[in-house]
Structures are given as structure tokens and as C-alpha cells.
Amino acid sequence: MLFGSMPFGMRRAARLALTAAALASAPASAQPPEAISDGLRCVYEKLTANRGYEVVAEVFLYDTVPENQVGQAASILDLATQSCAKQYKWSVSRVFSAADVGLYGATIDYLIQKIAAAGVASTAVEAFDTVVSSMSHADYESFGEQDWRSDLAFTRRLRALARDAGLPDEEAVMDMALDALELGARIDYSVALFVLDLAEGSPIPETV
């Protein structure tokens, strides 16, 4: 579920079109030090400082959450993002990228916890978490397809990654695993956008 009222939940199509070619040949971003020092992880760290991130993750993932929870999630993400934007004086594009990094990272944490709560061995959970972290923006194009879950070859590959990490081939677990893998690719893409913005030296707006 996308945040209809949340200003920082999605990348604008024009921004994606302008940067796609530059990112296509770029290596996995891996959160370089210069990006971390410019606050790349700030929104994520604020979201996960307490259990409020669970509210944000549930609204992002599920269509059945109560309407009041949608507003609560929007407020939590907005407050975290605005606080970080003021602290680091981000450009507008950097605000979008860092907010997505925070949103996707917090949602991955939520999914990993749910997978662990399903009785999966801790060693398998840790191995799968590493797999999620290894997803790159090279995978982003495949996930960008409107109905990528209907691509049987692609989903078989994803399920194999999850099984190889030790996750059981149970539908509920695999559904969460596929969501986490998608977010792993999306977070790497957002990191790459943030890094590209740093490299371009985007001007800092007077107000954020």
C-alpha cells in the first residue's frame, strides 16, 4: 500500500527518468561514508528508535489497516524526515531519497522480525537479512514492473534466494521474503540516488 497522504513515500517519475541511465551502470551503492556523514541513515534511525516504525511498515505493506493508522504513519515519517532535513540541510531530491531509505529500511526490519516470529531459525533469518542487503539497484527494473509477481522466472529466482538462506518454503514466509527482497532493491536504488545527488552537488534550498 502506498501512502496517499505521505509526501515522501515515492520518487517522482521525472526524477527516476533523469537518473535511470546514470544508475544503470553504477555499482551497488553500499552506503558510502560520505553519504552516511550527510545523514543518509538519519530517517531510518529516527523511525526505528521506537516501535512507531511498526505503524509505518504496516501502512506501507497492507491495505487493511484502519484509516487513523494511515494518518499516524504519515505523521511519524513526516516528522522524522523534516527533522533530518533541517539537521543536514538537504536538497529537495536528497529529502526524497533519504525518506525512502528510512521507509524501506524500517519496513525490512519489520518483515525480518515477522519472519523470525514465524519460527524460522535465527541463523536462517540472519542469512536472509544478508541476502536482502545484497540486493542492488540492478534488480530495481525487474521489481518496477507493475505485476512482477506474475513473472514466474523472476519469482522462482527470488524464492530460491530465500530457500538457500534457510527460509522454509511456506507461502506466508515466502510472501514476506519477496516483499523484503523488493525493498532491498528499492533501498539500494534510493541510496544510489542520494549518492548521485551528493556527487552532483545539488544546491541547498533556502527552506526544506
Handedness of CA 190, 38, 49, 70 (dihedral sign): negative
**87 residue type, one letter:** Q
pLDDT of residue 6: 39
SS (H, E, C) 81-106: HHHHHHHHCCCHHHHHHHHHHHHHHH
DSSP string, the chain: ---TT-TTSS--HHHHHHHHHHHHTPPP----HHHHHTTTTHHHHHHTTSTHHHHHHHHHH-S-S-HHHHHHHHHHHHHHHHHHHHHHT--HHHHHHHHHHHHHHHHHHHHHHHHHHTT--HHHHHHHHHHHHH--GGGHHHHTSTTGGG-HHHHHHHHHHHHHTT----HHHHHHHHHHHHHHHHHHHHHHHHHHHHHHTPPPPS--
Q: What is the mean pLDDT of each run of 10 residues along the chain (208 residues)?
A: 37 38 46 75 96 96 94 96 95 94 97 97 97 86 82 94 98 97 93 87 48
pLDDT of residue 121: 97
Contact between 48 and 106 under an 8 Å Cβ cutoff? The reply is yes
Residues in CB range of 156: below 8 A, 6 or more apart: none
pLDDT of residue 80: 97
Q: pTM of the prediction?
A: 0.82
